[in-house]
Every structure is written in C-alpha cells, then in structure tokens.
Amino acid sequence: MNHELLPEFSTLHTERIGDILKVTIAHPTSPLNAVDDALHEDLAALFRALRRETRARCVLLTGQGRAFSAGGDFGWFPKLQDPDVLETVRRDGKQMIWDLLDVEVPIVAAVNGAAVGLGASLALLCDVVFAADTAIFADPHVKVGIVAGDGGVAIWPLVLGPARAKQYLLTGDPLTASEAERLGLANFVVPAAELQEKALAFAQRLAAGAPLAVRYTKMAVNKLVKDALNVAFDTSTALEIVTFRSDDHREALSALREKRPPKFTGR
C-alpha cells in the first residue's frame, strides 16, 4: 500500500503544501458543512488514512465558507431512526474519534466559522486550535433532545472542568472565539482574513520540529484525552442512541421544521 495516497472524498479537499497536508471540509451541497452520511463517512475515512500518513509532518484541518462544520444535518436525522443505520453511524463515529487521536503527526485546526456538535468535537480534539475572530463553538445536542455523544462529554470537561462544561453542554449555548480562547478551548484567535496564513505558519513551525519528538510528545499527551474518552464515550453514545428514539427528539425536529419552540415531555 502506498501510504501517501489518500482516499477519494466527495466532501473534503486535500492539498499538500510542502510538509503540510491541508484538509478542507467542503461539502458541495451544504454551505455550512453540515454532517450527513457523506461527510460522516469521509471524515471517518480521513482519520483512518491519516493514521498511516508517512509524508506530511503536520496536518492543517479547516473548513470552506462560513463554517468549519455546523454539526448534524437535520435532514439526515430521520434516517437515523433506522436501527441498522444508527448502529453503523455509532460504530463509525467511535472509530473516527479514536482514529483522530491516533494520528501521530500534529493536527492544527483552523476554525473559520461555526464549529458545532461533531464539528466542535473534531476541532477541540485537534492539537492546536486557531479560530477566526468570527468563529463560534457550541455543542447543542440537548437542544434537539439528544445526548452529546460524539466526544463532547469528554473533551469539554477535560478543557473547562466539569462545572463550566456542564454549563455549555446542558444549555447548548455558543461561545464566541474570544470566549473560547479565554476559557482554553482555542489557542489563538486571529482576524478572519489572516486565519489561514497564521494557522499554516504555525503548522509549518511544528513540521520543522524534530519529527519523532513532536509525534511522541503528542502521543503521550493524548493518553490523557483517551482516558477521558474511555470513561465517558461509550456511555454517552449509548445514551445518545436512546434519546434518538425519544419523543423529545422527534418533537425538537418538528419544532425546527415548524419554526416554533419545542415542548419537551421527558419521554
């Protein structure tokens, strides 16, 4: 197998810039890069392939347009009522997150806009986070009646502490880029027009470092992140599956379609 060859993607664009592999989330049918089956499959394939990457010394992950990724595509959610489809998504979603953490070269996230739900989890699980000053971060699973089951219940408390993490996970409230930087979710906030340049420069700085030292240090630190995922990930995804079949989730989707406040009943 030639490890320099990446899979063909329909929702991601890849470009090699010297020692940097730049990956851009660019969903052709979603201006906000919402996660549907196509993007979910591509992201899973991406991180699986990056585990075997031998050429790049750093990965730069960003989004095209107004969003990094605005989270789940509500039009996709009804398909997840099929138990077989939901089980496939659960399995692939878990492998996606673990593969992301097992990518040995550093990953710099350049958050160009909204990073929501899974989009936020992916950004926060990268190694260094640059955010445009117009970006927002949010994990609003609860607003559609489901549990934050894609890694959010692990990485938000690890970064913010339990109390502050619950403030945002239980409300789904968004954070501005400056708030995210102040609380430690983002490393750097830069003007939107300078985001790609600044993030690429930092990625090149990491790529110029001693490769084994950089990779092994990352791997050691990620042991801490994996411990958090070991505690919370399977429980949260199991409960997310339960809530996908709940009346409250169906009510949330109906309320979105009808543009009204939801009336939750706890069923």
How far is 190 from 187, CA to CA, in rounded Å?
10
Cβ contact 93:40 at 8 Å? yes
* pLDDT given for residue 113 in this prediction: 98
Adjacent-strand bridge partners of 24:
13, 62
* pLDDT given for residue 86 in this prediction: 84
* pLDDT given for residue 1 in this prediction: 35
* pLDDT given for residue 4 in this prediction: 59
* pLDDT given for residue 61 in this prediction: 98
Q: Which residues of the chain have pLDDT under 50?
A: 1-3
Cβ burial of 184 (10 Å; 0-12, 13-18, 19+) is middle
Give pLDDT tens digits for 69-119: 998 888 888 888 888 888 888 899 999 999 999 999 999 999 999 999 999
* pLDDT given for residue 3 in this prediction: 47
CATH superfamily of 12-194+206-258: 2-enoyl-CoA Hydratase; Chain A, domain 1 (3.90.226.10)
How far is 182 from 140, CA to CA, in rounded Å?
20
pTM: 0.94
Give pLDDT tens digits for 169-188: 999 999 999 999 999 999 99
How far is 164 from 160, CA to CA, in rounded Å?
6
* pLDDT given for residue 2 in this prediction: 41
